[in-house]
Every structure is written in structure tokens, then in C-alpha cells.
Amino acid sequence: MKFTDFEVSSAVCSASRAALLTGCYHARVGIRGALAPQSTIGLSADEVTLAEICQQKGYATACFGKWHLGHHPKFLPLQHGFDVYFGLPYSNDMWPLHPAYADLPAAAAERKRGFPALPLIEGNTVVDPEVTGADQTQLTTRYTEHAVRFIEQSKDRAFFLYVPHTMVHVPLFVSDKFKGKSQRGLFGDVVMEVDWSVGQILDAIGDHGLDENTLVIFTSDNGPWLAYGDHAGSAHPLREGKGTAFEGGCREPTLMRWPGTIPAGTTCDELAATIDILPTVAALIGAELPPHKIDGQDITPLMVGQPGAQSRHEVFYFYYGAGELRAVRDRRWKLHFPHTYGTLAGRPAGTGGGPTPYTQAEIGLSLFDLKTDPGETTNLADQHPDVVERLQR
């Protein structure tokens, strides 16, 4: 099933991942923006994650890939419900060897070079203290091998597997087996390799006869980092991209697969979000929800194609940073509150791995009809003051 209106609560890495794993808006759990190697915070032990929900019911749990919810030992995946972990603690651009840094102004380049070496972690242990570019070409393959091995080891019990790939985040790296194979340059090659990885995981599920017992969800944490041009994706026809409250930053391509339960080849146009995954999984496996408030909703009726099923979100909020409310929407309308955001403003995007710096733009109180204008091009606030008033409450 393809979900065409699937949102994240924040269009940046750490905040979005915190929301996915807790079922809460990121502002509620205190994760703002993207954590850096200098960050001292991480996901609190008081939060109940999707992995811990699954552990309640005896599931084996694993995370292979980019964590980005705190790199200090007390914040790592094994302290948040995962039995095993292998991956990077944060984004691969938080790295002194980033190939684009050579083209930055001297002050910016020096700041980037101030990053510590990028570590690779297994469990709670740093197994490679200094990841190189050659190492990054193998990350997708290594994550995939770990995932396939975990499925093999867990085939006789229930399991939860979380694979947040490092790619296609910049800087881009691809293995030799996919280098030059696409029609979209390095970006296309990297997408092909991630597609291969998904195929390997699906094959492993099928090879062990687990298709009809396994829910597979493919989604993303935010829209494309448009400044990087040919090393980024496209949000067309949506407006803007990563780091903004526009649909290009927060509406994510999402697929769900569960043979025998989810009708194949179908589409859901109802509003849903990554915060809905935790309560949905909890309902499916009969686990208790966390004792504190969560913001997600059980979307099982949407997922299984129940006739007449509608989104259970009366409204959905788009927060930025520490809790600045930038926009709110319902199933049809989206209201932006006045704020400043980064944009290319019509300038050419970067090429070859280097970004074009954003400029700052302002949006005033603006209302968009997402059913007819998902690209958020026509402000209808003056024509529908009643809708504006309702969404402002």
C-alpha cells in the first residue's frame, strides 16, 4: 500500500527519528533538530520506544544503521530496547573528511574540520574509531548483511528490525557493484543500492516463509536537502524540502507491505504519520502503550484498507526546534504561522557534492488547500477566515 499523505513532525534527522520511535511529537520528548558530536543530550531513558514496546511481547529487536538519538553510551540503542546494534551514531556529514568542505570559506571549513573522527559502533563498543570514505562505500552492504543475518537468527521467533540507512544522506558513497549503474549519477547509484538492500531484506523474509507474518514499512525522516542539487532528491511537486514545515520537508513517500493483510497495489490518501507507527504496532501485537501521553494514532483501519476508514488526526502539528509551532493542518487544510525559513529562492542548487547556501525567507499567516494544492502555492487565508480561526484555536 502506498501512503500519499504521510507526515513527519519535524523535517530534520534527530527530531524526526525521536518522533518515530516514541510515537510523540519531538518537542514533547525534548529532541530538537539534529544532534551533533558536541551534543550532550540524547533520547531520555524515561521515553518508551517502539523497540521496548516489542520487547514487552518477547520480540527480538535490532537496529542497523544511523542512530542519531545521542552518541553517549547511555543514549545508544541497547539502552532503548534493542538487543543488537551496528552503525553510525549520527549523520555521516558530521565528519572532518567530508569532500565538500574543501570548497567552503576558510572559517566554515575550519569549523567542519573541528568535528571528531566518525566512529562505527557495534553494541555499545566503538569497533572502528575513524571511518573513511572507503569505509562509507561499504556501509549499505554491511547494514544489509547484518539485517539478513538477524532475520536468519530470529526466524523462529517474533522480531522487530529497524534499518535506518546512512545513505542517501550526503556525502554520498556507493559500492563498486553499483558505481555508474544508474542514469542519475552518484545519487542514482546510491538509490539503486538502497533499493537492492530493501530487496535483500524482503528476499530473506520470503526465503524463511515469513511474508504473511511480517509487516514491512518503508519511509524517511525528512524531505530532500535541496541545497545539494544533484546529490539530493526532489520533492516535486511539493514546496521546499528538508528543514522546513512545507510539505516538501515533511510529507514522506511511504510504503507498507503485509501479504494477506494489506491489500497489494492499493493507495491510501488519508493523513497519517510516523508517530502513528508505535501505537499501530502496539495494537497489532497486543502490547501496552506507554503510561504517559503519546500523540500518534492506531492506523490499522487505513493500513488494511477498511472501507470508509479516515484519519484519526483531527489536527497535525509541525514544530521547529524547541517547540516553535510553524504550521498546523487537518485532513484538507494547512495553516502556516508567520516564520522565517531557509530556501534557495530560485538560485541554482549545488553540484558535485557541494551545497548552495540557503537564504532566509519569510512567510506570513498562510492557508493552503492540500487536496487541490499540495504544492502550497496559493494562499487562501483571506477567502476562508473561518478555517484560519478554527486551526488557530
Phi, psi of 25 (to 5 degrees): -60, 140
Strands 125-128 and 120-122: antiparallel
Known catalytic residues are 13, 68
d(CA 218, CA 211): 15
Tallying the residues shown for the chain, one arrives at: 393
User: 287 is written with which cell numbers?
Assistant: 502490547
d(CA 142, CA 121): 12
User: 179 is written with which cell numbers?
Assistant: 558505481
Radius of gyration over every alpha carbon of the chain, rounded to an integer in angstroms: 21
Determine the 3-state secondary structure of 19 from DSSP. helix
DSSP-assigned letters across all residues of 12-28: SHHHHHHHHHHSS-HHH
d(CA 10, CA 242): 9
Cα end-to-end distance, the chain, whole Å: 34
Q: Which residue type occupies 299? A: I
d(CA 294, CA 45): 16
C-alpha dihedral sign at 67, 73, 75, 79? positive
